[in-house]
Chain A
Amino acid sequence: MMRWFIFLLIGIPLISLMFVPIDGLFYRPEKWPKPIYNFRDNPLTFEGYTLGRTLFYDPILSKDSTISCSSCHLQFTAFAHVDHPTSHGINSRAGKRNAPGLMNLAWYPNFHWDGGVLSLNGQAINPLTHPDEMGETLEGVLVKLNRNEAYKSEFKKVFGTERITTSHLLKALAQFTVSLVSANSKYDSVMRKESSFNEQEQRGYSLFLKHCNQCHTAPLFTNFEFKANGIGPNALINDSGRRVITGKASDAYLFRIPTLRNIEYSFPYMHDGRITKLKDVIHHYANSSNWVYPISKELKLKNNSLSPEDQKDLIKFLKTLTDKEFLFNPSFGYRLK
């Protein structure tokens, strides 16, 4: 009898704690699909997440110690890059592509605009070693980290070893990036029946379901397929998108459909950042006579099938995908050491 009492007293709060998202740590929102990220391979801990967060904001990871992950992925823009169409790295070298926002990465089957990267853990090798981004070598970063007593003791707490290795570095970074869950926008609260759309948002939502959801599929607002939305190849940047990875001619100029969560803040838009304003994106979709090949067949809009009113309604709906709690969550921000 006593034992049961103690069990209930300690057990129930403990068990219920397991389902409450610890501030900042990963959680699976209600009714969302199962995450794809392999958590068994990299079990999340608060220490690991915190270490990843520190690293994310630390320019020690770049060759000349000027650039951190957050130089291109800013929290207030949903971890996208704001001021340049394509991201800039060390020595102000312009990269080829626009830095996408980072959120809900645990559900991504692959990474980058061309889907060439298949694991979140391995992803960070790209910016770390890319000459246009952080320009470091893995050896170089590890030497710097292994010389740093504070990092050594933090890594030891998380991974239990004296020497920091490639996989420790990558797994720590991934513990932070995988925790960037954004699922508390107005849209989400409407879906949870905690609030409701106003009339304009509701009209926008209907238009969205009709014209956009087949590609930007809820709840992640992408189905992760590679498509072309008629913006056409960028003549200045020779980037054939998915074909770079598959080598297939039919994949030329296809890009992974981006999520639309926090889209209000993750400008500039498209793989090369060529559009700055959301209203211009909608304008593009509304004017099919300006589309350039290739155009994926899921795009069924006809010229003028979105009236100026419709376009405003769509934007109002897209703004319900803004998750202020995510954008301003202090536990995703810079951590004072």
Chain B
Amino acid sequence: MIAKNTLTLMSLWLYFILFGITYGQRNIIIKVGSEPFNLNSNYLINGVDSIRIDLFKFYIGNQRGDYQLVDASDVDTYQLPFDDKFLIIGMDSVTNTSGKLDGVFDPLLGMYWAWNTGYIQLKIKGNCYSQGFNSSFDYHIGGYQVPYLTYKVVKVQSNNAPLTIDLKHFFSVLPIYSTPKIMLPGPIAQEIFYNFTSSFK
């Protein structure tokens, strides 16, 4: 009887060690070209215009359904509590509607569309200065219903390296003048989403 208990304890202990190994961590580095990315800093895009971001949040997860809400105003969130080789930007419909509503899925975090159920996958808000004019933009990007899915699996380059995100190209293709505000899933939201996922290196 005692032997059996010890065995259970030992296997539990072993499980915890393994658990600790498989669920490692991975850091995220966000850049704009060669510069580090920060909120409320100006970045030159297209050689002439400059862009400043006030709010930048996005979900990133793995194929087991763990998610992190990366928020540029809180660098602690740049440390992912998992180190999978394949990461997911966006959510599938199951995760979107599973009704977890807690932790990183808490609607309190402002990433939930209540009347058109689903999570906002990427929120980005800021200003663009061009030739003396200032244009603001505000994007709530998401969608998991066909055809306007926002879901992409990205492969991390090497095992222990941090995940690098370079926003330079993404910034330069934001449709700031034609569509300064998006609050709904749709074709433009989807295009913005895919441009964003191509920032992952």
Contacts and interface: CB of A to CB of B under 8 A. Distances in A.
Interface of A: 38, 41-42, 112, 116-119, 121-123, 125-126, 129, 138-139, 142, 165-167, 170-171, 244-247
B3 interface: no
Contacts of A125: 107, 112, 114
A126 B108 CA distance: 13
Contacts of A123: 114
Given A138-B107, A166-B107, A247-B184, A126 B114 contact: yes
Nearest to B144: A118
Interface of A is mostly: helix
Given A116-B117, A117-B117, A122 B101 contact: yes
Contact of B101 (A117, A167, A244): A167
B76 interface: no
A122 B184 contact: no
28 contacts: A38-B99, A41-B99, A42-B99, A117-B114, A117-B115, A117-B116, A117-B117, A118-B96, A118-B118, A119-B117, A121-B101, A122-B114, A122-B117, A123-B114, A125-B112, A125-B114, A126-B115, A142-B108, A165-B106, A166-B102, A166-B107, A166-B108, A167-B106, A170-B101, A171-B101, A244-B116, A245-B116, A247-B148
A55 B78 CA distance: 38
Contacts of B81: none
A138 B116 contact: no
B97 interface: yes
Contacts of B106: 165-167
A90 B193 CA distance: 37
Ranked nearest first, the 3 interchain pairs of A and B with the lowest CB-CB distance are A118-B117, A167-B101, A125-B114
B126 interface: no
Interface in B35-91: none
Interface string B174-201: 0000000000111000000000000000
Contacts of B185: 247
Contacts, number: 61
Contact-size category for B: 20 to 34
B155 interface: no
Given A125-B107, A166-B107, A119 B99 contact: yes
Given A129-B114, A138-B107, 6 more contacts: A38-B98, A112-B115, A117-B115, A117-B117, A118-B97, A119-B99
Q: Taking each of B96, B97, B145, which has the highest tally of chain A beta carbons within 10 Å of its own beta carbon?
A: B97
A167 B107 CA distance: 9
B116 to A, nearest CB: 4
Nearest to A165: B102
A116 B100 contact: no
A42 B99 CA distance: 9
B102 A122 contact: no
B108 A247 contact: no
Contacts of B99: 38, 41-42, 119, 121-122, 167
A166 B104 CA distance: 12
A272 to B, nearest CB: 17
Contacts of A42: 99
Nearest to A122: B117
Nearest to A139: B108
Contacts of B96: 118
Given A118-B97, A166-B101, A247 B186 contact: yes
A15 B127 CA distance: 65
Contacts of B107: 122, 125, 138, 166
B117 A138 contact: no
A118 B112 CA distance: 12
A142 B114 CA distance: 17
B102 A167 contact: yes
B108 A116 contact: no
Contacts of A139: 108
B6 to A, nearest CB: 30
Contacts of B100: 167
A167 B98 CA distance: 12
B102 A116 contact: no
Interface in B122-144: none
A133 to B, nearest CB: 11
A93 B24 CA distance: 51
A190 B106 CA distance: 46
Contacts of A244: 116
Nearest to B186: A247
A112 to B, nearest CB: 7
A138 B108 contact: yes
B183 to A, nearest CB: 12
Contacts of A245: 116
A285 B71 CA distance: 54
Contacts of B97: 118-119, 122
